[in-house]
Structure 1
Amino acid sequence: MDSAEYHSALAALAWQIELGVDECIADAPVDRYAVPAAVPKPAKPAAVQPEAAPVLQMGDDPVAVAREAAAAAQDLEGLRAALAAYEHCELKKGARNLVFSDGVPGARVMIVGEAPGRDEDMQGKPFVGRAGQLLDKMLAAIGMSRDESVYITNVLPWRPPQNRDPKPEEVAMMQPFLHRHIELADPDVLVVVGNHSCQALLGKRGITRLRGDWTEARGKPALPMFHPAYLLRNPAAKREAWADLLSLRAHLRGDT
C-alpha cells in the first residue's frame, strides 16, 4: 500500500470512528446497498381436500338403532341392558354411570326429569342431589315418596358435560328408550319435569306457560311441572309448584 492509499484509508477509519463505529464485526466488508438476489417464494402446500362425510346406512342411524333396541326389551331390566349396550350416544363416553331409574317400578306416578347432574352421575340414580332432596320434600308434602309410591327416570341416562342443556340429536336418540320405558313401567300418571322433558314428551317448550295444565303424553295423563332445580334458583315459584302438587294429589284421589 503506497502512502496515498494509507493516508486515505486512515482518514476513512478516523471518519467512521467519529460516527461512532468502535467495533469490527466481520473480516470482509459488506455492501449494504447491493440489491440482493430474489428469494424464491416457498411453494404452496397442496390443498387438503376434506373427507366426505360418511353416509349412514339405515342400520347405522342412531335413532333407528335405538328404536330397534328399545322395542326388543321385554322388561325394565332388559331395557336397562339395551341402554347400557347402546354405543351411538357420545354422552356415554364422558359419564361415570348409566342413570336409569329410581323408586318403585309399576308405581302409579312416573316422574320424567331432564338429565343427570354430578351427584346423579356419581351414584347412578336420578334426583339425588340438591334438586332431588327438594323433590323428596315436595312428594312428602302430599304423602308420597320414591320408596313407596313414585317411579323416577330422565330423558337422558348420561350426564351432559358441565351440565349443559341436552342437544336435540341426543334427545332424539334417547326418545325410543324413554317411550319404551313408559310402556314397560305403565304408570297411571306422568309428571313431566322441566322444559327439556316437555320438549321430549309433549313436543312443546315454555314450562312457565305449560305447568299446571293437565295434558296427555304417550297415552297417559301428564302434568308438566317446574324442575326442582328451577325452584332452588327461583324460590318464589314454589307457590305454583305447591298448587301443581295439590292438583296431582287430587287427580290420584279421583277428585278431578
Structure 2
Amino acid sequence: MDPLPLDPRQAAALVVQWYAEMGVDAALDETPRNRFEEAPRRPAPTPEPAPPPSPAAAGSVDEAAAAARLLARSARSLDELRDLLAAFDGCALKTTAKNLVFADGDPKARLMLVGEAPGADEDRQGLPFVGRSGQLLDRMLAAIGLDRRAVYIANIIPWRPPGNRTPTPQEAATCQPFIERQIELADPDILVCLGGPSAQALLGLKEGITRARGRWTEYDTGKRRIRAIATLHPAYLLRQPLQKRLAWRDLKAIRKALDESATPA
C-alpha cells in the first residue's frame, strides 16, 4: 500500500524535527560567517535639533493677549472690531474653525447675552446660538416677550474649538479683550452671562454656576457700571431639563430689571 502524500508544510516540519533530533542547532548559508565575532556597533543617531517654541508657550500666550488688548482697544465701532478680530492670528482656534462667530441680534439692544464658545452649527453659519441650545434660548427669550432681534448675543470665544472641546485658559485669555471691548461698544443696560465660564471670565465669579446664578452684580463696561446676572447655559438645560425652573426664575428677574430700567425715574 502506497503511503499517503504529505502536505508540503507537514514535510518541512518533519525535516526540521529530524535535524533537531540529529543535533543540528544552527542554519548555515553559502557565505562563511564567524559567529564568534562581535557584531559591529552602530553609531549613535545624531540628535535632532529641538523644535522652536510653539505659539502656545507662556511668553507667546502673553504676547498674543497683549496684542489682542491693543488691537481691541483700537476699534472705534463694532464693525471695526469684527474686522480686526477676523484679521487677528493670535489664537490658533482660527485655523481650525470654518467661520468667525462674532454676534447676532441688535447691537443697540438694552440686553446683551454672552456664552462661552460656538459649536458645530454656529461654526457653519457664523452666528452664535443657532443649534439646539440656540433654539432653546429663543424659546426662553420668547417666554419673557423677547426674541434675538431684540437682544445682542455673543461669546467669549469667537471660533469653535475642535470637537467642541472646552477652550483652554490660554485661548480664553487671548480672546477676552475682544469680548470686553465688544460689551463696551455695545453698551447694554443689562449683561447676562450664559453658563459658568462666561460668568467666571466677565464677572469674576468663583462659585459653580448653580450657586452663582440668579444673583445681581455689576459689570464695568469702561463707560459705566451696568447690572449683570449669570444664568444656566441652554446646553446645560438640555442635559438637565429639571433645572429649567431655576432658569425661569432668572428670566423673570431679567424681565423685571428691563421693565424697571425702562421706566422713567
Compute the TM-score of the two structures, normalised by the length of structure 1: 0.83
Give the equivalent residue in structure 2 for 1:168. 169
Deviation at 1:217, TM superposition (A): 2.0
Give the equivalent residue in structure 1 for 2:47. 47
Deviation at 1:166, TM superposition (A): 1.0
Q: What is the alpha-carbon root mean square deviation over aligned residues?
A: 2.9
Q: Does 1:202 align with 2:208?
A: no
Secondary structure of the equivalent of 1:120? helix
Give the equivalent residue in structure 2 for 1:106. 108
Deviation at 1:52, TM superposition (A): 5.9
Secondary structure of the equivalent of 2:218? strand
Give the equivalent residue in structure 1 for 2:255. 249
Instruction: Say whether the 8 Å CA contact 1:155–1:175 is kept in structure 2.
Output: yes
Q: Aligned partners of 2:29, 2:123: CA distance in 1, in Å?
A: 73
Quickly say closer, same or farther: Cα 1:44–1:214, change in 2 above 3 A.
same
Secondary structure of the equivalent of 2:205? coil
Deviation at 1:220, TM superposition (A): 2.0
Amino acid across the alignment from 1:116:
P
Q: Of 122, 126, 129, which residue of structure 2 is paired with 1:127?
A: 129
Secondary structure of the equivalent of 1:192? strand
Amino acid across the alignment from 2:146:
M
Instruction: Say whether the 8 Å CA contact 1:166–1:196 is kept in structure 2.
Output: no
Q: Aligned partners of 1:146, 1:230: CA distance in 2, in Å?
A: 20
What does 1:160-239 align with in structure 2 at a 5 Å threshold? 160-205=161-206, 206-218=208-220, 219-239=225-245
Deviation at 1:45, TM superposition (A): 1.7
Q: Aligned partners of 1:190, 1:79: CA distance in 2, in Å?
A: 19
Q: Aligned partners of 1:28, 1:19: CA distance in 2, in Å?
A: 23
Secondary structure of the equivalent of 1:254? helix
Deviation at 1:41, TM superposition (A): 1.8
Runs of 5+ unmatched residues, structure 2:
1-17
Give the equivalent residue in structure 2 for 1:83. 85
Amino acid across the alignment from 1:41:
R
Q: Aligned partners of 1:115, 1:27: CA distance in 2, in Å?
A: 68
Give the share of equivalent positions with the same residue, in percent: 51
Deviation at 1:47, TM superposition (A): 3.2
Aligned residues: 235
Q: Aligned partners of 2:41, 2:75: CA distance in 1, in Å?
A: 65
Deviation at 1:200, TM superposition (A): 1.3
Q: Of 63, 66, 69, which residue of structure 2 is paired with 1:64?
A: 66
Q: Aligned partners of 1:217, 1:80: CA distance in 2, in Å?
A: 22
Q: Aligned partners of 1:29, 1:61: CA distance in 2, in Å?
A: 65
Amino acid across the alignment from 1:143:
G
Secondary structure of the equivalent of 1:61? helix
Secondary structure of the equivalent of 1:43? coil
Amino acid across the alignment from 1:183:
E
Quickly say closer, same or farther: Cα 1:38–1:189, change in 2 above 3 A.
same
Quickly say closer, same or farther: Cα 1:36–1:101, change in 2 above 3 A.
same
Deviations 1:18-74 (A, max 9, x none): 9569xxx8797989xx8521112212123345246389989x810111111111111
Q: Aligned partners of 2:95, 2:176: CA distance in 1, in Å?
A: 19
Deviation at 1:131, TM superposition (A): 0.3
Give the equivalent residue in structure 2 for 1:139. 141
Secondary structure of the equivalent of 1:140? helix
Secondary structure of the equivalent of 1:132? helix
Runs of 5+ unmatched residues, structure 1:
1-15
